[in-house]
Amino acid sequence: MPGPTETPGLIKSIIKPFTVTVRQMLKSTFGRPQTTLYPMERRELPPTYRGMNAVIWDLCIGCGICAEVCPNRCLKMKPETLDDDEQARAWYGSHLAKRKSKPERPAINFGHCMFCGFCEDYCPTGAMTMTDFYEMADTTREGLIYPARSLKVDMETLPQLPLINYMMESPVLYTDTCIGCRKCVDNCPTNCIIMDTGPQEREKRDGSKHNIPVPYFDYTICIGCSTCVKVCPVDCLHMEPISDSTSSGLQPAEAA
Amino acid sequence: MAEMWIHMGPQHPMTHGLWNLRIKVDGETITDAEPELGYLHRSVEKIGERRKYFMNTTLTDRLCYASAMTWTHCYCLTAEELMGVEVPPRAKYIRTVVLELQRIASHLMWLASYLPDLGLITGFLYGMRDREMFLNLLEIPSGGRLLYNYVKIGGVKRDLPPGFDAKAERVMQTLERRLKEYEDLYDNSKIFRMRTDDVGCYSASDAINWGITGPNLRSAGVPFDLRQADSYDAYPELDFTPVTTSAGNGRSDCFSRYRQRIDEMYQSMDLVRQALVKMPEGKVMAGSVPVRARGEAFRRTEDSRGEALMYLIGDGTDRPYRWKIRSPMFTTVSAAPHFLKGYKVADVPAIMGSIDMCIGETDK
């Protein structure tokens, strides 16, 4: 094998590296240190920092999209009893009061959380936020499971954010199989469904005919949470990508 | 003298990750070698088939802890091709900026891990100190220092804040000053040159035959760079030519691989400056990103370590039917027996360190 291509001389090989080392030594001895004394002083965090989650309950509509998009499945929706004040302050409070089931709020197991921020990104109302709090160490695993109420934060003035469909999908109905049970209406977190006259008729025992109502969707406020699809007892709903036909206004559900 | 097999790894300072290099030695001379991989297999491809398309960016971030952004970007490019999403021009430029910043951070990480292998512990401290500046820079838009989750299918997560280019310029000027110090410190250091000159040689034709890509190929004088050969994002609009180095006669040795990465850092800084100047205004996320996809797509990108390729098959559901990752380091380390033969046992850390191993992406 051939030897080294060029042999550096004395100045290049010893003096120059030595001057760099000495310069650095002086700089680090008398200059500003590279490290910080952690508990006493902290680094400045950027506003985008992804720390512990906090949920603005007044904005949360309990749609469960955060639980849906959580890659580690560490976020679960838990039924919570809202007191009167919370009920009144909630954005969709009047709607929630009418619902039979309890409203749900996210609870997080931070032992499994990887702080990817998907729950924050995909929240349609902006209720899920990530704070800059990161000192969550605990002596037990159970201590890292934060119940829904412990993540609650209040805001003085609520921003009126538009409902945004980040899921890029909306429900579409097969009218043939719909039985008009109204479960989708009862469970819709944004109240974007109404029941109205459908194409099918049901014959009663006495011979009289009754129209079967079918859901109509207001796609302008649909957030694509697919709650209606999950609760449908006859699987007559399915999700489809947002297209021109489903992107605007209250649409009569079409037989697909 | 009788030949015998020695295990270097899985717990060895040379390995930089969890893998095992078995070498057959005749005295001090290596006569054969066999890399054993799989200690860090996390079954990323299979887990990804159970998750929705957009969720997989958290997995691709974890493919390589030193270069998370480039892998997520490769996945997003593939998914965009599969779904037929057009990325806004500003998002393309932002991607170019963060990719090049990530490349510098990755090369600095390599420098910080390679030099202690050769007994220059100072190199670790200097390299890590400078990498910190780039992590701080990448933290500004993404909110993370190691796992960014910043590039998304259809664009990037959020816009660069105002004043980012001034901060980037300040950091790059500092690095340029410090890279000159490194050149004084290492390029001419007799100890460093004795350990790296004409050690771990392979020729350009061998490198091509073995499938070695990226800086390891360009260090043999082959001007092949996927940023130009199969261009993506804002690279076609930027002015650059692939940097190459060579140890003479179209060969690559440890020193030329070191030089190659230092030169690439200069080039990356130039690309960041160009992209920040040319960056147009506008949206950073495509208007509509489908959740479901059908068909197949593959894209290859220039990762910090070589050619990263991802292949996706969609069957019309919201999860990939098959996801294949082609890791550049897997092929490079497979060629290790060829360029280890004939050298001494003490050269193994110098050779294996110089190819910039990353086990996270190799084992997937």
Domain boundaries, chain A: 53-153, 169-251
Distance CA A185, CA A170 (A): 15
Find the radius of gyration of the CA atoms of chain A: 29
- pLDDT higher than threshold 60 for residue A3: no
Distance CA B247, CA B197 (A): 8
Q: How far is A4 from chain B (nearest CA, A)?
A: 6
Q: What is the mean pLDDT of residues A219-237?
A: 85
Spatial neighbors of B21 by CB under 8 A, at least 6 apart, are: B7, B8, B9, B12, B14, B15, B33, B34, B35, B36, B336, B348, B352
Contacting residues of A for B139, CB less than 8 Å apart: 46, 48-49
Helix (H, G, I), strand (E, B) or coil at A247: coil
pLDDT at A256: 40
Residue B139 contacts A, CB cutoff 8 Å: yes
Q: How far is A81 from chain B (nearest CA, A)?
A: 31
**Of residues B132, B143, B198, nearest to A46 (C-beta):** B143
Query: What is the number of helices (H) and of strands (E) in chain B?
Result: 15, 10
- pLDDT higher than threshold 90 for residue A79: no
Inter-chain residue contact A1 with B198, CB threshold 8 Å: yes
Report yes or no: B333 and B355 within 8 Å, Cβ to Cβ.
yes
Helix (H, G, I), strand (E, B) or coil at A53: strand
In this prediction, residue A99 has a pLDDT band, given cuts at 50, 70 and 90, of low
Characterize the bridge pairing of strands B307-315 and B294-302. Answer: antiparallel
Report yes or no: B256 and B246 within 8 Å, Cβ to Cβ.
yes
The phi, psi pair for A59, rounded to 5°, reads -95, -25
Contacting residues of B for A115, CB less than 8 Å apart: 144
Residue B185 contacts A, CB cutoff 8 Å: yes
- pLDDT higher than threshold 80 for residue A175: no
Please count the CA atoms within 13 angstroms of the CA of B285 that sit on its side-chain side.
15
- pLDDT higher than threshold 60 for residue B278: yes
Inter-chain residue contact A2 with B188, CB threshold 8 Å: no
- pLDDT higher than threshold 70 for residue A25: yes
Distance CA B150, CA B69 (A): 7
Distance CA B319, CA A75 (A): 20
Which residue of B lies nearest to A241 if distances are taken between CA atoms? B290
Domain covering A53-153 in this structure, CATH number? 3.30.70.3270
List the A75-79 sheet strands across, edge first: A75-79, A104-109, A145-146
Structure letter (DSSP) for residue A39: T
Inter-chain residue contact A48 with B198, CB threshold 8 Å: no
Q: What is the mean pLDDT of residues B19-42?
A: 88
Tell whether the torsion through CA atoms of B113, B114, B117 and B119 is positive or negative.
negative
Inter-chain residue contact A21 with B140, CB threshold 8 Å: no
Please count the CA atoms within 13 angstroms of the CA of A13 that sit on its side-chain side.
10
Contacting residues of B for A16, CB less than 8 Å apart: 184-185, 188
The B residues from 13 to 52 touching A (CB cutoff 8 Å) are 51-52
Domains recognised in chain B with CATH numbers: 4-363 (1.10.645.10)
Inter-chain residue contact B185 with A49, CB threshold 8 Å: no
Tell whether the torsion through CA atoms of B270, B272, B275 and B277 is positive or negative.
negative
Which residue stretches of B84-120 are H helix? Answer: 89-117
Contacting residues of B for A48, CB less than 8 Å apart: 139-143, 158
Residue B247 contacts A, CB cutoff 8 Å: yes
Contacting residues of A for B53, CB less than 8 Å apart: none
In Å, what is the CA distance from A186 to each residue of A2, A100, A221?
82, 7, 16
Establish whether domains A53-153 and A169-251 are of one fold: yes
Q: What is the pLDDT of residues A113-125, one digit of tens each?
A: 988 888 888 888 8
Spatial neighbors of B258 by CB under 8 A, at least 6 apart, are: B114, B186, B196, B354
Distance CA A201, CA B109 (A): 70
- To the question of pTM greater than 0.90 for the whole model, the response is no
In this prediction, residue A255 has a pLDDT band, given cuts at 50, 70 and 90, of very low
Inter-chain residue contact A21 with B289, CB threshold 8 Å: no
Report yes or no: A222 and A232 within 8 Å, Cβ to Cβ.
no
- pLDDT higher than threshold 60 for residue B261: yes
Q: What percent of chain A has pLDDT over 70?
A: 86
Interface test with A, best of B85, B158, B185, B188 (most A CBs within 10 A): B188
- pLDDT higher than threshold 90 for residue B337: no
Which residue stretches of A11-140 are H helix? Answer: 16-30, 65-69, 84-89, 93-98, 118-122
CB contacts < 8 Å between A and B, how many?
A: 87
Q: How far apart are the first and last CA of chain B?
A: 39
Q: What is the pLDDT of residues B118-175, one digit of tens each?
A: 888 888 888 888 998 999 999 999 888 888 889 988 888 888 888 888 999 999 999 9
Inter-chain residue contact B158 with A48, CB threshold 8 Å: yes
Q: Dig out the tokens for A191 from the structure.
A: 């109240």
pLDDT at A91: 66
User: A169-251: what CATH class?
Assistant: alpha beta
Contacting residues of A for B68, CB less than 8 Å apart: none
Q: Pick the closest to residue B76 from B276, B233, B227, B237 (CA basis).
A: B233
The label of the residue with tokens 């850390």 reads B349
Inter-chain residue contact B184 with A117, CB threshold 8 Å: no
Q: Dig out the tokens for A219 from the structure.
A: 């796609």
Q: How far is B274 from chain A (nearest CA, A)?
A: 25
Q: Is the peptide bond before A147 cis (omega within 30 degrees of 0)?
A: no
Q: Pick the closest to residue B159 from B171, B146, B142, B172 (CA basis).
A: B142
